[in-house]
Amino acid sequence: MVKSLSKRIGNAVILLLAVLVLNFTLIHIAPGDPVEVLAGEMGGATPELLAELRADFGLDQPFHVQLFTYLGNVLQGNLGYSFYYDKPVTELIFDRIGATLLLVITALLFALFVGTALGIASAQKRNSLLSNVVTLLSLAGFSAPVFWIGIMLILLLSVALPIFPIAGMATADEPEGNFAYILDVVWHLVLPALTLASIYLAFYSRLSRASMLEVLESDYIRTARAKGLSRFLVVYKHALRNAVLPVVTFAGLQFAQVISGAVLVETVFAWPGLGTLAFESILRRDSPTLLGILFFSAVLVLVVNIVVDIAYRIIDPRISAK
Amino acid sequence: MIDSSLDNFNTEPMEKPASPARQTWKMFSSNQSAVAGLILLAIVLIFSLVGPLVYQVAPTEMVWMPLTPPLESEYLLGTDYLGRDILAGLINGGRITIAIGASAALLTIVIGVTIGALAGYYGGWVDNLLMRVTEFFQVLPNLLLAMVVVMLFSATLTNIAIAIGIVSWTSTARLTRAEFLRLRSMDYVRAERSIGAKNRRIIWAVILPNAAPPLIVSAALSIGTAILFEAGLAFLGLSDPNNMSWGRMIGDNRPYILDSWWGVTFPGIAIFLTVLAISLVGDGLNDALNPKLRKR
């Protein structure tokens, strides 16, 4: 366990270095000279000044020297500086990461629990009404753009029927007291989390349904039934553990895509997380911030993958036995 | 007795078995939802390819009072906040959306199949290296990476299609690799090798055609994914400023949803129906090309 874990962490570090190299290469080969942009903002500069600026920023150095300087900076926790926000990128990211994690984790847990429950329930009876509804919903969830689902939910549940707030994470004039504040945030969280969950809800219900159907046909389930155990006990005690394995695997594999979804959902609901930060940095053409977010999400994805790996071993002890 | 039984024996030559393409079509056309998807897809294609010839209103010009609701003017689906015709936007945006979706999907398939085929066929260090590259692309949130690429290299139609292509090939590569791993030790592949066929021929002319069915399905589905992807980028403001697209319409009209529900609703329905049609056709192809895998 420890050995395979340290191998995974080593692997993760290599992947992160590769992300940094990619980031740097992209900036390097992209059209547009940062020094000329800067000079443009200062209102023009002589060629001598341009050369001086270039030397100041180390832009006259060869590619590999610049790359190593960049890597060294990142290792010291310096992901660059956002001129628009006038703040270091790491600081910006740490300001926003909490909101994103809250949204993503709520949506994922919701999708996992409800999706698995729907899938298992619809696996009990093929061609039942529930089973058809699940199939239909999952088809719809695959086909509609997630940001559009969010906008439609706003039109329905915030505009036509004003139940939920339209945007943001908390009411502008904060309600008194901790409990009221938490309630306020939860109230704001409902629609974005539901929107983000919708894609994965469909997916998990389909996956757990297929996997449950397969497990229910295996010999050990028949044995358990033959012993006289109730159907309920067999499904929820014997079959569930095995049926949920592929769902857990996919939840880990898909985490990168969940972050992509969060970028869109946060933008729709003006949820103050990394996604809106990414959206804003596109508007401002603030590439250090956008690249910082890309790097940081890769870190997040790798951490989640390692956590899922551990969870997987707890659910299925056969894996560590091998 | 014996004679009579022989007389009864049918000596007519057996009917020629239907060609694989015919069999597939027969299977496909007996699947109601797949046929519905195909019809829907045909309607979408006619709407956005023939539509601009019939309905000649410029999608980017102000034609009427801004924010006119549907059915209240000659512009049936209403106008947006700049007084642009929504219907014209849908018709012309469809062409762009479908063009980007199709070319990005093509790129996805070319990259994915090449990497997957080489990794699965050669195995060893080639496989190791290529799978590391695949893993690398799976770790990065693909939308964020595409955002970075499009922002740094400017939002033209080509750049957007390329960006979508280079961030979405990983699942195709894994699928192709699995197929090649399965097929590379088949007898007919060995036979081909024993008569001295080159690796290049074995990969592209022997194994690939046999791996085709799941790849065709994946190609069909990746058009749908690419359309959703383009819509997402356009919604975030990363679209070609000279061309309308469905995602861009939603993004443009989002700040005005309190005044006009129609500006965001219709383009979304268009995307939904198109991707739904593609998924239905893809699922139908999956069942038809691979009857063994049919859903329970």
A270-295 pLDDT tens trace: 889 899 999 988 888 788 888 889 98
Name residue B97's amino acid: T
Q: How far apart are alpha carbons A151 and A154 in whole angstroms?
A: 5
Facing B268 at nearest CB: one of A31, A145, A302: A145
Evaluate whether B232 touches B143 at the Cβ level (below 8 Å).
yes
Does residue B236 sit within a domain?
Answer: yes
Q: Across the interface, do B138 and A253 touch by the CB < 8 Å criterion?
A: yes
Evaluate whether A198 touches A146 at the Cβ level (below 8 Å).
yes
Facing A290 at nearest CB: one of B148, B154, B250: B148
Does residue B100 sit within a domain?
Answer: yes
Burial of B84 (0-12, 13-18, 19+ CB in 10 A): buried
Report DSSP state, residue A113: H
Name the one residue in this structure whose structure tokens are 């700040």.
B255
Give pTM, 2 decimals. Answer: 0.86
Does residue B197 sit within a domain?
Answer: no
- Provide CB contacts within 8 A for B53, sequence distance 6+: none
Q: Across the interface, do A148 and B228 touch by the CB < 8 Å criterion?
A: no
Q: Across the interface, do A256 and B236 touch by the CB < 8 Å criterion?
A: no
Distance from CA of B272 to the nearest CA of A (A): 5
Evaluate whether A225 touches A239 at the Cβ level (below 8 Å).
no
Domain of B78 in residue numbering reads as 32-65+73-109+141-167+212-294
Structural domains counted in chain B: 1
β-strand partners of A81: A88
> Which residues in A lie closer than 8 A to residue B258 (C-beta atoms)?
159
A195 touches chain B (CB under 8 A): no
Q: Quote the mean pLDDT of chain B.
A: 84
Q: How far apart are alpha carbons A144 and A198 in whole angstroms?
A: 10
* pLDDT, tens digit, 9 for 90 and up, residues A140-195: 778 889 999 999 998 888 877 887 777 777 776 666 677 777 777 788 888 899 99
Per-residue confidence band for B294, with pLDDT thresholds at 50, 70 and 90: very low
> Which residues in B lie closer than 8 A to residue A143 (C-beta atoms)?
224, 272, 275-276, 279
Report DSSP state, residue B79: B
Distance from CA of B33 to the nearest CA of A (A): 11
> Rounded to an integer, what is the distance from CA B145 to the centroid of its chain?
20
Does residue B217 sit within a domain?
Answer: yes
Evaluate whether A191 touches A110 at the Cβ level (below 8 Å).
no
Residues 20-49 of A with CB under 8 A from B: 23, 26-27, 30-32
What's the confidence (pLDDT) of residue B8?
A: 58
Does pLDDT of B296 surpass 50? no
What's the confidence (pLDDT) of residue B3?
A: 53
Angle at B49 (CA atoms; ends B45, B51), nearest 5 degrees = 105
Nearest CA in chain B to A298: B140
A148 touches chain B (CB under 8 A): yes
- Residue scoring higher pLDDT (B253 or B79): B253
Distance from CA of B295 to the nearest CA of A (A): 9
Facing A278 at nearest CB: one of B139, B144, B152: B144
Does residue B206 sit within a domain?
Answer: no
Does residue B52 sit within a domain?
Answer: yes
A172 touches chain B (CB under 8 A): no
Facing B261 at nearest CB: one of A139, A155, A259: A155
Q: Across the interface, do B139 and A283 touch by the CB < 8 Å criterion?
A: no
Question: Which of A26, A148, A249 should we substitute to test contact with B (largest number of B Cβ atoms within 10 Å)?
Answer: A148
Q: What is the CATH number of domain A90-320?
A: 1.10.3720.10
Q: Across the interface, do A287 and B272 touch by the CB < 8 Å criterion?
A: no
* pLDDT, tens digit, 9 for 90 and up, residues A108-134: 889 888 888 888 888 777 677 777 777
A301 touches chain B (CB under 8 A): yes
Distance from CA of B24 to the nearest CA of A (A): 23
Nearest CA in chain A to B267: A148
- What is the CB neighbour count within 10 angstroms for residue B32? 10
Q: How far apart are alpha carbons B181 and B192 in whole angstroms?
A: 16
Question: Which of B90, B148, B175 should we substitute to test contact with A (largest number of A Cβ atoms within 10 Å)?
Answer: B148
- Provide CB contacts within 8 A for B269, sequence distance 6+: none
Domain ranges of chain A: 2-75, 90-320
Backbone angles phi, psi at B20, to 5 degrees: -55, -40
Question: Which of A23, A137, A147 should we substitute to test contact with B (largest number of B Cβ atoms within 10 Å)?
Answer: A147
Evaluate whether A273 touches A97 at the Cβ level (below 8 Å).
yes
Q: Which residue stretches of chain B are H helix? A: 2-8, 20-29, 32-49, 51-54, 86-122, 124-139, 142-153, 157-167, 170-183, 187-194, 199-201, 208-235, 246-253, 262-289
Does residue B274 sit within a domain?
Answer: yes
Mean pLDDT, residues B98-125: 93
Question: Which of B90, B134, B152, B265 should we substitute to test contact with A (largest number of A Cβ atoms within 10 Å)?
Answer: B152
Distance from CA of B17 to the nearest CA of A (A): 34
Tokens representing A288?
């250090």
Backbone angles phi, psi at B129, to 5 degrees: -65, -50
Does pLDDT of A29 surpass 90? no
Backbone angles phi, psi at B85, to 5 degrees: -75, 125
A202 touches chain B (CB under 8 A): no
Question: Which of A19, A137, A143 should we substitute to test contact with B (largest number of B Cβ atoms within 10 Å)?
Answer: A143
Query: Element (H or E) spanning A82, and its range?
Result: strand A81-82
What's the confidence (pLDDT) of residue B11?
A: 61
Distance from CA of B44 to the nearest CA of A (A): 15
Evaluate whether A151 touches B254 at the Cβ level (below 8 Å).
yes
How far are the Cα atoms of A64, A271, B64, B86 from residue B257, in angstroms, in the given order? 49, 17, 19, 14
- Residue scoring higher pLDDT (B81 or A6): A6
Instruction: Give the HSE-up count for residue B258: Cα atoms under 13 Å, Cβ half-sphere.
Output: 5
The ipTM estimated for the assembled molecules is 0.85
Q: Across the interface, do B151 and A285 touch by the CB < 8 Å criterion?
A: yes
% of chain B residues with pLDDT over 70: 89
* pLDDT, tens digit, 9 for 90 and up, residues A201-227: 878 888 888 888 888 888 888 888 888
Q: Is the dihedral of CA B224, B34, A195, A254 positive or negative?
A: negative
Lowest mean pLDDT segment, chosen from A1-5, A82-86, B135-139, B269-273: A1-5
- How many pairs of residues across A and B have Cβ atoms under 8 Å apart? 136
